[in-house]
Amino acid sequence: MNELLKLLENDARLSPESLALMLDKEVGDIKTIIEDYENAGVILGYQTIIDWDKTDAEETVSAIIEIKITPQREHGYDRVAQKIYNYPEVESVYLMSGGYDLSVSIKGKTMREVALFVAERLAPIDGVLSTATHFVLRKYKDNGVVYGVTPVDERGMMM
Amino acid sequence: MDYSRILSSTVQDIKPSGIRKFFDLLENMQGVVALTVGQPDFITPWHIRVAAIESLENGKTYYTSNSGTLELRQEISSYMNRRYDLTYDPKSEVIVTVGGSEAIDIAIRALINPGDEVIVPQPAFVCYGPICELAGGKPVYLNTKEENKFKLTAEELKSVITDKTKLLVLPYPNNPTGAIMTSEDLEEIAEVLRGTDIMILSDEIYCELTYGREHVSIASLDGMRERTIIASGFSKTYAMTGWRLGYTLAPPEITKQMLKIHQYAIMCAPTTSQYAAVEAMRNGDPDVAMMRKEYNRRRRYIVGGLRSIGIECFDPEGAFYVYPNISKFGLTSEEFCERLLQEEKVAIVPGTAFGDCGEGFARISYAYSVEHIAKALDRMERFVKKL
């Protein structure tokens, strides 16, 4: 049922009734399948994509930090990654191929706050060789959604 | 000036599209959830748009040959071959047109002598009759029936054939009903036409949008190719309505005559669009598959949704419309649609826009997001509960 997962990935609010119609299945089956996915850790959560810039919420800054690390015996990169991802400030941690090892994204209130977090929390971790912090200036597209554009139906009224 | 004495009486006699006033009403309202649009909601896939942009960057801004670039005609020919097992010579049997509409126009004009009869099954897209009248022909409307799933039957066809019948229009997959004709259905029609001089205009603009079974062209049936003009295009298949690009496929003798009309009235189809179309046909299959799948989900969603709120609706197998039967609510189609618009701000098209036989029906387009459709269904439920 990859199709079901793709639909939910795109719109988590689709009801089991709607999904059943769209996928030509029974409502009960859809509910069971979703529950199974949740229990098996395939579906890990449901979130909402928000353009915070359009709200009156306090401004935040995001940064992507490239980290080079020394892999540890037996644990490889996992230990260091865990030490990093346990911080609630950290939104994502990826192990990367190429010029650096971990890509970490962080959200903070100010640039200073983010910079301090990197300097005081991330850089001192055993095994971390270097960090490079890149602040996000503008988000054009995230999670498949283009930001700042409200779609308008401009289609002509043809038969 | 008394223009009525000056203007062409043929043109003046053509009725304006009845749906216009409904659309005008709609355009002046705010907050309407419309399910009226007869074109895809997808944007033309990016790689196709890029091909057009590159063609402009490379200065491809001239006219092409009248019948379109040979490259595109070759792509169309090989597409028909791989998809529908039909062979058309790119040099003598293909014309690239300004949309499927022009394809229909030149096909009818190339065939019709004054007084010739053209059989037009209804409900259908609205252009066939007026174009036929402009050519001096006489449209003979034939009403298909819900109990036959809005297919054309051999009996119905036989009942309207006269010695003046020149052409049968075959508008399947059908706008507005979503009906399709299977190869068995088509074989019945073919059997009626074999041995006659009656020609077929097969409007296959929705050929890639069928759900469950593949579209069959009547031209692929025994003895039918020689009498068939296929009109098709890129609009619905690749979400390219605004590019205005279609084509005709017909034997060389017919193509030669159609080309004269095209050459004098149009010159050639838009060059930029032709470059985009080549890319569409070469690399667009995954896009088509994706869109078809998405339409199919919406189709199941809307059919199920309508039924659950008590609106009967036959299972459409093609295009992106459902055509529910609303007669049980005791309103005419126009009353139903106007009240639905005024009271719940949902816009759907009265069936009568597609011919008198549309009374008791409405066309609902599902070329909209599921979210949008869901909102409309909620409002429609509230509306029908009041009736």
Q: Any idea what DSSP says for residue B210? A: B
Chain A hits for B125, Cβ within 8 Å: 159
Alpha-carbon distance values, A74 to A71, A79, B19, B245 (Å):
9, 10, 73, 62
Q: Do B39 and A156 touch (CB under 8 A)?
A: yes
Q: Give mean pLDDT, residues B291-311.
A: 96
| CATH architecture of structural domain B3-44+286-386 | Alpha-Beta Complex (3.90)
pLDDT at residue B202 tops 90: yes
Residue B309 contacts A, CB cutoff 8 Å: no
Distance from CA of B49 to the nearest CA of A (A): 18
Interface predicted TM-score (ipTM) of this complex, two decimals:
0.76
Distance from CA of A23 to the nearest CA of B (A): 6
DSSP secondary structure of A29-77 = HHHHHHHHHHHTTSS--------GGGSSSPP-EEEEEEEEEPPBTTTBT
Domain span(s) for CATH 3.40.640.10 in chain B: 46-284
Residue A44 contacts B, CB cutoff 8 Å: no
- Secondary structure (3-state) at A21: helix
Domain span(s) for CATH 3.90.1150.10 in chain B: 3-44+286-386
Report the C-alpha gap between A81 and A70 in whole angstroms. Answer: 11
Alpha-carbon distance values, A55 to B37, B101, B311 (Å):
33, 47, 41
Q: Give mean pLDDT, residues B201-222.
A: 97
B69 falls in which pLDDT band (50, 70, 90)?
Answer: very high
**More confident position, B189 or B21:** B189
Chain A hits for B100, Cβ within 8 Å: none
CATH 3.40.640.10 is the classification of domain B46-284: yes
Report domain extents, chain A. Answer: 2-39, 52-138
Instruction: Name residue A131's amino acid.
Output: T
pLDDT at residue B21 tops 80: no
Q: Are A23 and A4 in contact (CB under 8 A)?
A: yes
Q: Which residue of B has its CA nearest to A19?
A: B301
Residue B349 contacts A, CB cutoff 8 Å: yes
Q: Do B298 and A22 touch (CB under 8 A)?
A: yes
Chain A hits for B301, Cβ within 8 Å: 18, 21-22
The Cβ of residue A76 has, within 10 Å, a number of other Cβ atoms equal to 12
Q: What is the pLDDT of residue A158?
A: 67
Domain spanning A52-138: which CATH class is it, in words? alpha beta
pTM of the predicted structure, to 2 decimals: 0.90
